[in-house]
Structure 1
Amino acid sequence: MVERQKQIGRDRVSRLVSWGHWFAFINGLLAIIVGYRYLENVGLPDSFIGWSYLALSSLGHFTFLAFVVYVVLLFPITLLLPYSKILRGYAAVVATSSLCILLYDTIIYDDYGLHLNPFVFELAWTDLNALLQGTSYIVTPIAILALELTVANFLWKRIEKIRKRNYGNKVVIAVGLCFVASHLIHIWGDATENTAITQFDDAYPLSYPATARSFMENYGIDNNISQKNQPIPSASLKYPLSPMQCSADIKPNILVIAIDSLQAKLVDQTTMPFLAQYASENHSFKQHFSGGNQFSSGMFSLLYGLQGSYINAVDLNYQTPVLTQELSANGYQLGLFTAEDTLAHPQAIFDNFERINAQDRDSDANADLSSIASWVQWTNTSKKPWFTVLNLKSPESYDTPVGFLGIKTVKADTELKPAQKVLFNQYRQSLNFVDQQLSNILNDLPKNTLVVITGVSGKLLTSSPNEARMNWSPDSVQVPLVIHWPEQRAAKQIQYRTTHHAVVPTLMSQALGCTNPATDYSAGNSLMQPSDNSWIYTGDNQVFAIYQANEITTIDRHGKYRIYDNNYKKRLKKKLSAPELIEVMREGRRFYIH
């Protein structure tokens, strides 16, 4: 009799476990339906491989998440309280809560471009009224709960028939194959930079697709070739927001001198005397910030005028900056002078330029001299008005040519670490070398040349790239900006904060006569007037910093944030300033098609 009761109990538990597996699978399918909202932001694929990957990934990912919820929240209750009525009601509540969280995450992703995490939740809670409008946030959970109760009861009544037909093993194998196949396809897609696959990397919550680029490259896959042969995906950005209206009556030559790793505070009479004097005679922006602390994010903000959160947007691998598009349309000849190994993102950023690479790979200083010589020859032979970007790289590697005499060493800042003090005067020597080259370039320019001199990014005195990437101090992002106008304008020392994002609108309006509002194509406004924003964004889609009046907030893609004082010295124990950060997040989504 006791054995009979035990057997009945085991059968009941077995039946409940089978029911739970099927209930989790059905909820995985419901999650796919809710998850379709993510694709409205990312865009649908245009190729067979894209659709195949999306189908496999969606089925494998959401059913896996549903099974995890079952194992954590339902399976233990099945063993502790093996009563079908209790379990069905509890499971319906858990499933409803899970789908509501997923639905809320789609709303957050649509508005901020991020999935739920502690940082985003705190931010969204402040902005809850704007996110949840109308009565749908009340009606929707009730409707989902009714659906879940119906599904739970429907499955329970038919679970014996389903078990007898032995569908379970087949479904598990199919779902498992989808999960594994999607990761294998992503390994290949990541190695070949196939955007039809990688565009979905951040689309789904808790998604961490496998990557093995170095492994695939060992088997001879050429990333560059595979990328060039890919079809252009459907647009997910509307950039610019409106057709450009530009008509340049006078077309000055435009020279942008973009210097890698240039700290604003070292543009002085001791280290860079020529640039310091040149700045005093022209428009000098004393509180100017790069759009990033790395070459890619700094150059992206300088040419696209967009926040670094757009740097991995698939569309921009095929769409050049609006600035260079309009320059080309207005008859300009575009030239880029840089080192041969200079890479930037997105892939189309330099496509409008004729690129002239410096050949010297052994020395950045020699490469700079080669770039300058090529620039002089190129501009002297140009028959059209030209727009050139001259990228000088010596300060990044603390480099100077052999035999360079330079300047006297000085005592380093007492706050520097011992290793930084060693690098300090080497860095000053490379800046002085660049300063002498600026003198040679700018003293022999055609009179009708508009000159922009700035740093691509600032410089942290370290030999560790990882340490430099994670540092958002003023040394890393505050750079000089000097503009010389071809017509005579009074010298001006501008003290309000400006950013790289404002350079594009300034050139578009001042040199090309564009009448569109800057918001049509940029995250910045003209340099000629203070920004209405109380914050400055600098960074990319992985980690970024927000400079506000009295604090600096750094945030990574996982929502971990830290708040520092203005000198980046003291971590402040305070909450996020939500209104400004909400503005930042929305600016980072403004150009996406909804």
Structure 2
Amino acid sequence: MILAESPRRQRVTKLVNWGHWFALANIIIAIVIASIFVFSSPMPGTGVGTLYLLANWFGHIGFMTFFGFVIFILPLCYLVNNPRVIKGSASIIAAVGLALLAFDALLFNRTGFHISFHAADLLRSEAQSSMTIESWQQWAFLFLLFIVWLGFQLVLANAIWKRVERFTRYKVGVPVTTFFVSCFVLSHAIHVWADAKLYQPIIKQDNMFPLSYPATAKTTMSRYGLLDLAAYEERKQLQFSPDIHNITYPAQPVYCSVETNKNLTVVVQIDNEQSVDLLSVGAKSLNKVSNYYSTASSIEGLITSTLFGVPEIYQDALSKKRPVLLALPLGSGMPVSIHSDETLPLPQLSGYLQPITNNHDGLHIAFMKSNDIARYVENTLKRNHDVIVATGFGSEEGKGALYSTLNLKANLASTEDLAPTILNALGCNAPATFYSTGQSLLAPSRAWLVSTSGERIVVFHDNKRTDVLSNGSYEISDMETGKRSKDALNVDLLSQAIKHLSRFSTQN
């Protein structure tokens, strides 16, 4: 006796088969979209790192997409009788999911962080800076793009539905499943090894993909004597390497005009003596930014950060470069000079060195001890120069103050902000990101800043200072009191800051 399948069972079987093929098509699309994450990040540079990258790329994205199918679409195949409703619902779910993945990929490419609750404030800040003028046309265009994308998903769903019997004859389920499961398992197995060995070409990929939580087994391995946790922590402390040898500076050509009739003098304190209060010098009052940080660990690093607008980790790599801050005004015909009692760390800057008594018009940048600053600034103001005075180098936590005749609008500033502020004050409107990790304090766009101090990355945000070693150990302190804070690490902000910090580095 032959028992035929009931019509409902036949329909469910066809829907489940359709769902698997629909999921496979969207896995392929998701993998293509996820290539943005891959090409937005430095390549591993090693064979094992590249193998992990490929396995993690296919395994994680394939798992994440298929998991979405199992959670949201597969139950509909058993609960809903109308195939049109299922295809329509699945198309909407797939369109929304892949649109979010694409948005996250573009956000990661721009900022280095993923969509999350921790990134909400940063996301809002980025949106405000990139969409300064809210208009219904912009939102209408985005909505139209989504409608087109949804239409594509509907066409794809119907095309697979019409050909599902033909596709079913191709026995690809086992090899495809084996491939993605193998990639998933292999990536986590490699990461367990890399985490135990602190293998940086793999560890640095931890934040590459959204919703990625690579496996670690330090506790389990130590329990069975396979890993010495004390030795692990000791090796972990040696992982940071601040050496950067290959850079592109400036990141893009800088084109802008400089108003050669302007006169500006910049003074940077180079000792750790208590500075005099410069709120009033002579008969002129100066504006003050109280939260100014000079985090360089040496005078050479301070001079590099001031002139190039980048942290001191770039010092050796800049040995044959000319700072845009000096080259651009000089190329426009403005006299430029540097005054310093210290040896300039970059030999190519020696041609700019002039005696402190040289009172020409144009741009002066002086590196001085605190006892000489007030008198020099007073004499400068008498010559109708605008001034910027940066203090605090060598002080506790590197905190000082910034004084200026200019209308500085920032509440938080660092040495790296000086170069873009100076060029902006001289009339240059080129994007600061082309030549600096800082921002113009005349029109700041970021509420956080990142710098380095010796072998530490330092991030300032929301009245908190975070000092991070590249091995992941960190300390958060209150900027006002200096006391240690128990706040959780903002991983998204840190990822964005590091991406911003390394924008000129071309090393893997």
Output the TM-score relative to the length of structure 2.
0.54
The answer to whether the Cα contact below 8 Å between 1:289 and 1:500 also exists between their aligned partners in 2 is yes
Where does the alignment leave 5 or more consecutive residues of structure 1 unmatched?
245-253, 258-274, 307-315, 331-383, 388-440, 444-449, 459-478, 484-491, 510-514, 555-563, 569-580
The answer to whether the Cα contact below 8 Å between 2:19 and 2:73 also exists between their aligned partners in 1 is yes
Task: Report deviation, 1:133.
Answer: 6.4
The answer to whether the Cα contact below 8 Å between 2:31 and 2:61 also exists between their aligned partners in 1 is yes
- Give the distance between the partners of 1:137 and 1:497, measured in 2 at CA: 33
Partner in structure 1 of residue 292 of structure 2 = 289
Partner in structure 1 of residue 108 of structure 2 = 109
- Give the distance between the partners of 2:138 and 2:317, measured in 1 at CA: 40
The answer to whether the Cα contact below 8 Å between 1:19 and 1:156 also exists between their aligned partners in 2 is yes
The answer to whether the Cα contact below 8 Å between 1:17 and 1:75 also exists between their aligned partners in 2 is yes
The answer to whether the Cα contact below 8 Å between 1:32 and 1:59 also exists between their aligned partners in 2 is yes
Partner in structure 2 of residue 502 of structure 1 = 415
Structure 1 segment 236-251 matched on structure 2, within 5 A: 238-241=248-251
The answer to whether the Cα contact below 8 Å between 2:409 and 2:443 also exists between their aligned partners in 1 is no
Partner in structure 2 of residue 404 of structure 1 = none
Q: 1:325 to 1:531 in 2, by over 3 A?
A: farther
Counterpart among 438, 446, 465 of residue 523 in structure 1: 438
Partner in structure 1 of residue 205 of structure 2 = 200
* AA aligned opposite 1:145: L
- 1:42 is paired with a residue whose SS is coil
- Give the distance between the partners of 2:445 and 2:239, measured in 1 at CA: 40
* AA aligned opposite 1:184: A
Query: Are residue 19 (structure 1) and residue 7 (structure 2) matched?
Result: no
The answer to whether the Cα contact below 8 Å between 1:502 and 1:524 also exists between their aligned partners in 2 is no
The answer to whether the Cα contact below 8 Å between 2:270 and 2:370 also exists between their aligned partners in 1 is no
- 1:289 is paired with a residue whose SS is strand
* AA aligned opposite 1:175: F
The answer to whether the Cα contact below 8 Å between 1:302 and 1:503 also exists between their aligned partners in 2 is no
* AA aligned opposite 2:251: L
Partner in structure 2 of residue 370 of structure 1 = none
Q: Give a deviation string over 1:275-312, Cα, whole Å, max 9, x none.
A: 54x646999987243389xx99x99x979859xxxxxx
Counterpart among 453, 456, 461 of residue 545 in structure 1: 461
The answer to whether the Cα contact below 8 Å between 1:279 and 1:482 also exists between their aligned partners in 2 is no
- 2:40 is paired with a residue whose SS is helix
The answer to whether the Cα contact below 8 Å between 1:291 and 1:537 also exists between their aligned partners in 2 is no
- Give the distance between the partners of 1:180 and 1:587, measured in 2 at CA: 29
Q: Give a deviation string over 1:118-146, Cα, whole Å, max 9, x none.
A: 51564566567579969874564344334
* AA aligned opposite 1:591: R
* AA aligned opposite 2:149: I
Structure 1 segment 459-498 matched on structure 2, within 5 A: 479-480=399-400
- 1:321 is paired with a residue whose SS is helix
* AA aligned opposite 1:23: F
Q: 1:593 to 1:37 in 2, by over 3 A?
A: farther
Query: Are residue 321 (structure 1) and residue 309 (structure 2) matched?
Result: no
The answer to whether the Cα contact below 8 Å between 1:27 and 1:63 also exists between their aligned partners in 2 is no
Task: Report deviation, 1:80.
Answer: 1.6
Q: Give a deviation string over 1:502-561, Cα, whole Å, max 9, x none.
A: 26857xx9xxxxx99976234156xxxx654386525689975246xxxx999xxxxxxx
Q: Give a deviation string over 1:199-247, Cα, whole Å, max 9, x none.
A: 4322222222234567585398895899799x999x7x74543699xxx
- Give the distance between the partners of 1:586 and 1:211, measured in 2 at CA: 23
The answer to whether the Cα contact below 8 Å between 1:95 and 1:148 also exists between their aligned partners in 2 is yes
Where does the alignment leave 5 or more consecutive residues of structure 2 unmatched?
255-268, 323-341, 346-368, 372-389, 423-427, 452-456, 467-477, 483-492
Task: Report deviation, 1:586.
Answer: 13
Partner in structure 1 of residue 215 of structure 2 = 210
Q: 1:186 to 1:21 in 2, by over 3 A?
A: same
* AA aligned opposite 1:176: V
The answer to whether the Cα contact below 8 Å between 1:302 and 1:501 also exists between their aligned partners in 2 is no
Tell me how large the CA RMSD over aligned residues is.
6.0
- Give the distance between the partners of 1:25 and 1:199, measured in 2 at CA: 29
- 1:17 is paired with a residue whose SS is helix
* AA aligned opposite 2:156: V
The answer to whether the Cα contact below 8 Å between 1:191 and 1:217 also exists between their aligned partners in 2 is yes
* AA aligned opposite 1:241: A
Counterpart among 138, 154, 157 of residue 152 in structure 1: 157
Structure 1 segment 370-409 matched on structure 2, within 5 A: 385=343
Task: Report deviation, 1:164.
Answer: 5.1
The answer to whether the Cα contact below 8 Å between 1:190 and 1:211 also exists between their aligned partners in 2 is yes
Task: Report deviation, 1:181.
Answer: 1.0
Structure 1 segment 341-356 matched on structure 2, within 5 A: none
- 1:457 is paired with a residue whose SS is helix
* AA aligned opposite 1:171: V
- Give the distance between the partners of 1:226 and 1:159, measured in 2 at CA: 56
Query: Are residue 92 (structure 1) and residue 8 (structure 2) matched?
Result: no
- Give the distance between the partners of 1:281 and 1:136, measured in 2 at CA: 52
Q: Give a deviation string over 1:380-418, Cα, whole Å, max 9, x none.
A: xxxx9487xxxxxxxxxxxxxxxxxxxxxxxxxxxxxxx
Partner in structure 2 of residue 533 of structure 1 = 444
Query: Are residue 174 (structure 1) and residue 174 (structure 2) matched?
Result: no
Task: Report deviation, 1:74.
Answer: 1.0
Q: 1:226 to 1:305 in 2, by over 3 A?
A: closer
Partner in structure 2 of residue 74 of structure 1 = 73
The answer to whether the Cα contact below 8 Å between 1:23 and 1:155 also exists between their aligned partners in 2 is yes
The answer to whether the Cα contact below 8 Å between 1:24 and 1:70 also exists between their aligned partners in 2 is yes
Q: 1:6 to 1:537 in 2, by over 3 A?
A: same
Task: Report deviation, 1:178.
Answer: 0.8
Q: Give a deviation string over 1:63-110, Cα, whole Å, max 9, x none.
A: 112122212221222222133333222212221222222222223223
Q: 1:195 to 1:454 in 2, by over 3 A?
A: same
* AA aligned opposite 2:94: A
- Give the distance between the partners of 2:237 and 2:459, measured in 1 at CA: 29
- 1:454 is paired with a residue whose SS is coil
Q: 1:304 to 1:24 in 2, by over 3 A?
A: farther
Q: 1:79 to 1:455 in 2, by over 3 A?
A: farther
Task: Report deviation, 1:149.
Answer: 3.1
- Give the distance between the partners of 2:186 and 2:436, measured in 1 at CA: 40
Identity %: 22
Partner in structure 1 of residue 193 of structure 2 = 188
Task: Report deviation, 1:27.
Answer: 0.7
Structure 1 segment 416-427 matched on structure 2, within 5 A: none
Query: Are residue 53 (structure 1) and residue 52 (structure 2) matched?
Result: yes
- 2:394 is paired with a residue whose SS is strand
- Give the distance between the partners of 2:35 and 2:112, measured in 1 at CA: 15
Task: Report deviation, 1:49.
Answer: 2.7
- Give the distance between the partners of 1:232 and 1:321, measured in 2 at CA: 7
* AA aligned opposite 1:72: I
Task: Report deviation, 1:31.
Answer: 0.6
- 2:461 is paired with a residue whose SS is strand
- Give the distance between the partners of 1:179 and 1:504, measured in 2 at CA: 44
Q: 1:524 to 1:127 in 2, by over 3 A?
A: closer
- Give the distance between the partners of 1:521 and 1:91, measured in 2 at CA: 46
The answer to whether the Cα contact below 8 Å between 2:114 and 2:210 also exists between their aligned partners in 1 is yes
